[in-house]
Amino acid sequence: MSQSNNRLAYIYVFLGASLWGIIGIFVDNLSQQGFSALQIVTVRVISASIMLVAFVAAIDVKLLKIDWMDSMSFIGTGIFSTVFFSWAYFTAIEEVSLSVAVILLYTGPAFVVVLSRIFFGEPMTSRKIGALVLTLFGCVLVIKVFPINADRISLYGVLVGLGSGFGYALYSIFGKYALKKYHPLTVISYTFIFASIVMLPTSGFTISPQQLQSQTVWLNILGLGFFPTALAYFLYTMGLSMVESGRASIAATVEPLVATLIGVWLFNEILTIFQIIGMLFILSAVVLVQFKRIGGVRN
């Protein structure tokens, strides 16, 4: 891959992850309107799937044609990843607190690096390991995980939290397989179609008509389905199609950085010196993971 295409791939990943970082705006608004966590996941995946299918049908309906023998890839991205990691993440928040749940979720890049080594033969380089360490420490500082309230920590919560990181990682693995044969728009469309098939009967029918009567609710549902979902996944998947899974996943850890900055901008939160240091760690990891060779030596 040329250097310019390599940069473009990371720009896609960075923009997609940045859009993931604004999800809290819509989730907070819908929560205030009485939506439960799983109901929010449901409206997210259903609205995204409707928008994606409509868009793809309008520009090239052939992109919606798949070999149903390849359904396992989309079951992987839609159900094993999107649905499972959402359930595990929300459960972890209830069990161990938001800060610890976020850190456990961001074990995802480590899972991606290991799984990519196993399934795709991607090298486990010192540069990737260094970037993972920077990412972990950066996230710990940005999310202000310390001091940890030991009374809130449970073994079940930790295991479910690690499960959320594993589920988060599976999108990059199954997505990479699907991208060998299909366009990124096809991959994300069927990701959310399969996710919707699961979420509609389990949580969708719990949404009452009264919850959908407000214009504000619909604006937030559409915003949630488009910006941090359909568009974000499209940009990330475009980047994933151009670089190694492990590198894309590490670069995507700018998400908590963006989420923190959103909190500062919208909710007047105050950044601590440790959060600023954490942001520098994350940005350093994103820069570090982009370079493959120094002086002709693979890193």
Write the pLDDT tens digit of every residue in 222-241. Answer: 999 999 999 999 999 999 99
pLDDT above 60 (res 149)? no
Residue 217: closest CA among 38, 98, 78, 39? 39
Please give the mean pLDDT across all residues of the chain. Answer: 86
Three-class SS state of 86 = helix
Q: Could you tell me which residues come within 8 angstroms of residue 202 by beta carbon, excluding any fewer than 6 positions away?
A: 38, 42
pLDDT above 50 (res 282)? yes
Q: Quick one: residue 16, left, alpha or beta (phi over 0 = left, psi -120 to 50 = alpha)?
A: alpha
Q: Residue 254 in contact with residue 134, Cβ under 8 Å?
A: no
Q: Domain residue spans in the chain? A: 3-291
Q: Quick one: residue 182, left, alpha or beta (phi over 0 = left, psi -120 to 50 = alpha)?
A: beta
Residue % of the chain over a pLDDT of 70: 91
pLDDT above 50 (res 207)? yes
pLDDT tens, position by position, 70-84:
999 999 999 999 999
Nearest 5°: the CA angle 204, 207, 213 is: 130
pLDDT tens, position by position, 94-128:
787 666 777 778 888 889 989 999 999 998 888 88
pLDDT tens, position by position, 15-38:
999 998 888 789 889 989 999 888
d(CA 175, CA 5): 19
pLDDT tens, position by position, 165-187:
899 999 999 999 999 999 999 99
